Structure 1
Amino acid sequence: MRVTLLGTGDTTGTPTAGCDCDTCAEARRRGVERTRFSVHVENERTGESLLVDFSPDFRHQFLTREVPLPDVGIVTHIHFDHLDGLGNAYRLFDDLPIYAADETDPVTDESVAETVGRKYDYLDQVGVHPQSPFEPFEICGLRATLVPVEHPPLVCYGLAIEDPETGAKLSLSGDTNYAVPEQSRAVLRDPDLLLADGIVPASLCAKHPLGGDHHDADGVPRTFGSKHMTREGAVDLAGELNALETRIVHTAHFYPAEEAFEEPLAVDGETYEL
């Protein structure tokens, strides 16, 4: 299983358009990007690949990374930075199955699958396949399982992807705060690679109107506001899940420049063989 991190940034990416902060300037100096979130997973044994989330930067990502267009896609939630790239299916695909959760969101009165189907009903290429959380499904010779996480106010899902022949496992926290339910943690546990949402360092919680939440024993917040984990929360979650390797994704340009490119923060283009 070959994993390529196509997009490792938050909703504005790094560098952020029109921003001259030290972190964006340093990203330009280094020649690195964190575009909006998307992960490519290739089963080299079968020659098939899947895409987790459809970044608005889809075109740029596939022009700059040497990965094939996906055979199928998975959508974790309906925020634009994870979904709106699906419009790129126009003229690129003859058929593109999309897998998404079937639970009704009380905020939207639709499931993620229903929202995808409604929003992209004009694309004949896109076929939506609703999936129940915690129930594994087979795609590209791999086994995938969606699990609920906490990203208020909308429903959002993490994901485990396993190769049934080799035992390799990739886990994605999804966009979430630290309060990932224990049943979901059980599915995500023991990955070879964990991609964990860590939008900012905990030190920046003082600047959020809601502050921080889910503090550790030393009082360090593991949630920034209510929607995302801090870097420290991502690291703690990785430890609890017994991740062999962890990359922090969905990071914002608000990281201080001297911290923004330190381990284990990911940048676009990283590849992993599991």
Structure 2
Amino acid sequence: MRVTLLGTGDTTGTPTVGCDCATCDRARERGVERSRFSVHIENERAEESILIDLSPDFRHQFLTQDVPLPDAAVVTHIHFDHLDGLGNAYRIFDSLPVYAANEVDPETGESVAETVRRKYDYLDRVSVHDVTPLEPIEVCGLELTLVRVDHPPLICYGLVVVDPETGAKLSLSGDTSYDVPESSRERLRDPDLFLADAIVPAALCDRHPLGGSHHDADGVPRSFGTKHMTREGALALADDLNADVTRLVHTAHYYPADEAFEEPLAVDGEGYRLDETGVIRLDTTPAESASTTD
């Protein structure tokens, strides 16, 4: 399967609109973006593809990245930067099945699937399909499993995607703190490629009203506040999951400019092929080209 990172940023993206911080300026100089989060997964055998989360930057992402429109979509949670791009389905798709969890969230009184169905009831070409977490389903010839993670106050999910023909495995943390349940870690474990939420480096936790949480043995916070992992937390989770290749996503422009484009932080447009041999990087991004001349 082919994996393309369409959007690798947090809720405001990088560069952030109206921001002239050093990191946003550096992104403009390099010609790179971290738009709002979305991942495209193509089953090249079946010539079908799946979109993980529907970014508000949907239109821009599909105009600038060389990927086909998806045959299906998955929604991990209902925050606008992961869902509100679904409005782009208007006049574009003949039909689009959308898969989302069926667990009722006490915070909202409805499941993710129910929220999507209610919010986008005017899109008659979109059909919403209820998914039971931890129970695999087949979509576009790939096996998908939603796994519960920790993103208070809402229920949120990570995702496991397995190619049954090759055994290739993609794990996606979803928006989460480091406090991922063990049952979910078991499903996420041993991925060829791991996409991990890493909103800021741990050193910035003192800027959060709640500070950091889930500290390691050296006192380094693995969560920023209570909702997202720090860079250090994401790498610790990757180590615990025995990930072969890890890319850090959902990153904010608060990263210091001299750290913001260092490995393994991802930028939009990165592509990977996962097969029985492992992970193959498909592209050279502007960030990589620029790093050779900085």
Q: Could you say which TM-score interval applies, normalised by the shorter chain?
A: over 0.9
1:1-60 CA distance string (max 9 Å, x none): 000000000000000000000000000000000000000000000000000000000000
How far, CA to CA, are the matches of 1:125 and 1:22 in structure 2?
43
How far, CA to CA, are the matches of 1:235 and 1:244 in structure 2?
12
How far, CA to CA, are the matches of 1:125 and 1:217 in structure 2?
51
How far, CA to CA, are the matches of 2:146 and 2:86 in structure 1?
19
Whether 2:239 is the aligned partner of 1:221: answer no
Q: Which amino acid aligns with 1:207?
A: R
Q: Which amino acid aligns with 1:88?
A: N
Output the TM-score relative to the length of structure 1.
1.00
Structure 2 residue aligned with 1:234: 234
Indicate the RMSD between aligned Cα atoms, in angstroms.
0.3
Structure 2 residue aligned with 1:85: 85
1:50-83 CA distance string (max 9 Å, x none): 0000000000000000000000000000000000
- Classify the secondary structure of the residue corresponding to 1:236: helix
Q: Which amino acid aligns with 1:204?
A: L
Report the Cα offset of residue 206 of structure 1.
0.6
1:148-174 CA distance string (max 9 Å, x none): 000000000000000001000000000
Report the Cα offset of residue 139 of structure 1.
0.3
Structure 1 residue aligned with 2:267: 267
Whether 2:108 is the aligned partner of 1:108: answer yes
How far, CA to CA, are the matches of 2:51 and 2:208 in structure 1?
32
Q: Which amino acid aligns with 1:257?
A: A
Structure 1 residue aligned with 2:163: 163
- Classify the secondary structure of the residue corresponding to 2:256: coil
Whether 2:7 is the aligned partner of 1:10: answer no
How far, CA to CA, are the matches of 2:132 and 2:141 in structure 1?
19
Q: Which amino acid aligns with 1:254?
A: Y
Report the Cα offset of residue 199 of structure 1.
0.0
Structure 1 residue aligned with 2:187: 187
1:117-147 CA distance string (max 9 Å, x none): 0000000011000000000000010000000
- Classify the secondary structure of the residue corresponding to 1:118: helix
- Classify the secondary structure of the residue corresponding to 2:20: coil
Structure 2 residue aligned with 1:210: 210
Structure 2 residue aligned with 1:42: 42
How far, CA to CA, are the matches of 1:30 and 1:146 in structure 2?
35
Q: Which amino acid aligns with 1:41?
A: I
Q: Which amino acid aligns with 2:220?
A: V
Map residues 17-28 of structure 1 onto 2, 5 A cutoff. 17-28=17-28
How far, CA to CA, are the matches of 1:208 and 1:48 in structure 2?
42
1:172-201 CA distance string (max 9 Å, x none): 000000000000000000000000000000
- Classify the secondary structure of the residue corresponding to 1:175: coil
Which ranges in structure 1 are unaligned for 5 or more consecutive residues?
A: none
Output the TM-score relative to the length of structure 2.
0.93
Q: Where in structure 1 do 4 or more consecutive aligned residues deviate above 3 Å? A: none
Map residues 117-196 of structure 1 onto 2, 5 A cutoff. 117-196=117-196
